[in-house]
Amino acid sequence: MTLLPTLTGVGRLTGDPELRFTQSQKAVVSVTLAFNSRRLNKQTNEWEDGDTFFVRGTAWERLAENVAETLAKGMEVLVSGDLRTERWEKDGQKHERPALLIRSIAPNLAYSVAKVSKDAASQQGQGGQRQGQQRPQGQQQYRQGPPPADDPWAVDQQAGYSEPPF
């Protein structure tokens, strides 16, 4: 069995995610990502762009729907997935290009703010697609009650500290 190389990196979406559905109603999203290297020119003390690698990324099912709902053109993202080669024939000519099967993707929080919430399928313990469920809008879901006794991030005003105790 041949393993595909894995790409993990920071890239930028060059367009809005394109969500569509297969005939069997599986969600699939396509995004074009640009990865580039920047380096500091020590003579001019300015940043210079190096080579750019463009790749078409694809995500499936619930991840696809979440990508389409969350990400937009121009966002910097952290992405991980399997590199592969797409091949097709058009007008008698064979073509190929690199492609990325996305396993994980998220906005880079150095340049954006995210309000995280579980999608409807996760809240109901379902796997795969949402099956017609809509994502809850608005506020993040918070756990009720006191934090666990061994939670290092707990805040204890009575003990006199308002930050984690380390």
Which mean pLDDT values do the consecutive 10-residue runs of the chain (166 residues) have? 81 95 93 89 87 93 93 94 92 93 92 77 55 42 52 56 52
Tally the domains of the chain: 1
pLDDT score of 157:
53
The range of the structural domain enclosing residue 28 comes to: 6-114
The answer to whether position 31 is within a domain reads: yes
pLDDT score of 104:
95
Q: What angle do CA 82, 13, 32 make, to 5 degrees?
A: 55
Q: b/e per residue, 69-81, with b = 16+ CB within 10 A? A: ebbeeebebebeb
The answer to whether position 74 is within a domain reads: yes
pLDDT score of 105:
95
The answer to whether position 143 is within a domain reads: no
Return d(Cα 103, Cα 118) in angstroms, integer: 18
The answer to whether position 119 is within a domain reads: no
The answer to whether position 164 is within a domain reads: no
Return d(Cα 94, Cα 49) in angstroms, integer: 32
Return d(Cα 26, Cα 64) in angstroms, integer: 9
Instruction: Check which CATH number belongs to the domain holding 63 and give it.
Output: 2.40.50.140
pLDDT score of 151:
58
pLDDT score of 153:
55
* Structure-token pair, residue 104: 């994980």
pLDDT score of 68:
94
The answer to whether position 150 is within a domain reads: no
The answer to whether position 124 is within a domain reads: no
pTM for the predicted model, two decimal places: 0.65
pLDDT score of 9:
92
The answer to whether position 138 is within a domain reads: no
